[in-house]
A and B are shown apart, each in its own frame.
Chain A
């Protein structure tokens, strides 16, 4: 019997089953997760081999893919019921940090945050102050500089600020250190964890980088989630 979901869950997954449509030539990729739970303001490192379904897992959590069965709850809201607007929920409850930052080119650092705020539930009157204060907290002293003008380290910080600016319940970090050298990877990871703690957001880092393992108290194997649930 699966454990009961916590009332304070940032992410709750139960009996999830997903398979890509078959093209008739080979067996399609399938992902099953019996049970996964991540409490608010907690953190977890999800590791797995390349091609093991980490990206698929993230898209399911973001509501960008729809499972054949099971439930995914973000901040206790079921993503895959008819009444849920998944785009709105993603904008309000989720923050993303990508391997290559994926900042919007041609936009300033502040504008990258403002774009994220467009899809949030925060009042418009708070957007500017919220963006400016978060950028300042992350050490960005030129908020109006175009992101192309920023150093790689600064771009990483802007990406972290963008993930947190909407006060999400959960931040998903997809290989956040893959494009950084070990020293900068460690700095970036510490920065991300620290600011998630400050903002009260849960952090789920998906990576195949073994150097991250010692940093996290909770480490899950994606493959093991298929059979044994993890809740903390």
Chain B
């Protein structure tokens, strides 16, 4: 028998109140941990999507929009780049790679990226982690489509499946290949020739086709408007059909050399051209997170306020229970417990509620993170690996215990000052 046994017995006697109060602490501690974990995991997920391209060029209105559209498939870019501009940029520097991309089509709400084979061989969606097919191959001809891992999983498409693309954002994912959001390119069927391994980046939600396939689809539309019939081939493409909406660029790097000064020079040169928007993806993601950091701060502040309110709940719960507990405290005093010892017992009770709550909060956080990441993947296509920071857990748990102990001060003082005579019998 120890003081701690008395603490545990006392909590057990008030089991309902103990559970409710601990759950309150658990909810607020869990909320705080979830927000902290999602913040770091969210940034990591965004950083994964930027890949190994040093620069992104498009005709979007700002560098941030260029990155959100070009790498995160937020929206199709506002305007295409002309082939003349593409050629001009190609000649400007001895690029390590220059991958042309075109966005604008979709399949059941999933974005379609038309690009060149270099996209798979040179561009890495995550630095140091090149593309790898889970089955099949990368496209090597027209009317072939490669599926991102999440897209394949969610559409249920398998190798050899046939599909048609939609111009624009397309139908809802649940629906079929309707035309409510764009024109369906029914004349050209694509065959699934490869399914990619997951990369943990937004690219997993996309479908990939060759740039020439996409040009053919849109040339067909042009020809229809001009009253021309028949299937289009590469030979029918005009200069104006060969549109790209973005370019992923990388400067040559040698091991041990620092690319940053050269990159800045190239960046400055490209920025002088007002007809294009040039962005450094990594910088834009940092800027985006600096912008949302304030919102993060508000959420964290709210969670901390919730934690404080749960400490108030502990205080109220324990103060309410003091009416029943004064007799127990008086008995302990008569048996030989000092005032400071009963003070310590009551304070420990509050701290134990905080500890139980924070441990449950860690579990709540893990569960909430699992649900939140599944929801983010499902609704936003943002792949976030639950990244639980043990240091944050320890700090939040310690904070919850300290706050609970602080809340226990009032009932502990009440216990300290409990009058033995009035509790054990009427004053004689």
Contacts and interface: CB of A to CB of B under 8 A. Distances in A.
Q: Are A and B interaction partners?
A: yes
Interface of B (DSSP majority class): helix
Interface residues of A, number: 41
A223 to B, nearest CB: 13
B327 to A, nearest CB: 7
B425 A175 contact: yes
Contacts of A59: 420-421
A106 B10 contact: yes
Nearest to A106: B13
Residue among B2, B10, B331, B339 with max Cβ neighbours from chain A (10 Å):
B331
B328 interface: yes
A54 interface: yes
Contact of A111 (B9, B332, B424, B425): B9
Nearest to A20: B427
Residue among A52, A92, A111, A115 with max Cβ neighbours from chain B (10 Å):
A115
A88 B421 contact: no
Residue among B336, B338, B339 with max Cβ neighbours from chain A (10 Å):
B336
Interface in A167-209: 174-175, 206
Contacts of B153: none
Interface in B328-356: 328, 330-339, 341
A216 interface: no
B331 A104 contact: yes
A62 interface: yes
A77 to B, nearest CB: 14
A105 interface: yes
B13 A56 contact: no
Given A174-B425, A175-B425, A87 B336 contact: yes
A55 B12 CA distance: 32
Contacts of A98: 424-425
Interface residues of B, number: 29
Given A104-B328, A127-B1, A115 B335 contact: yes
B9 A106 contact: yes
Nearest to A99: B425
Contact of B1 (A96, A117, A206): A117
A80 to B, nearest CB: 16
A230 to B, nearest CB: 19
Interface of B: 1-3, 5-6, 9-10, 12-13, 327-328, 330-339, 341, 420-421, 424-428
Interface of A: 48, 50-56, 59, 62, 64-65, 87-88, 90-92, 94, 96, 98-100, 102-107, 111, 114-120, 127, 162, 174-175, 206
Closest 10 CB pairs of A and B: A91-B336, A119-B336, A55-B428, A106-B13, A114-B1, A54-B428, A87-B338, A102-B331, A116-B335, A90-B336
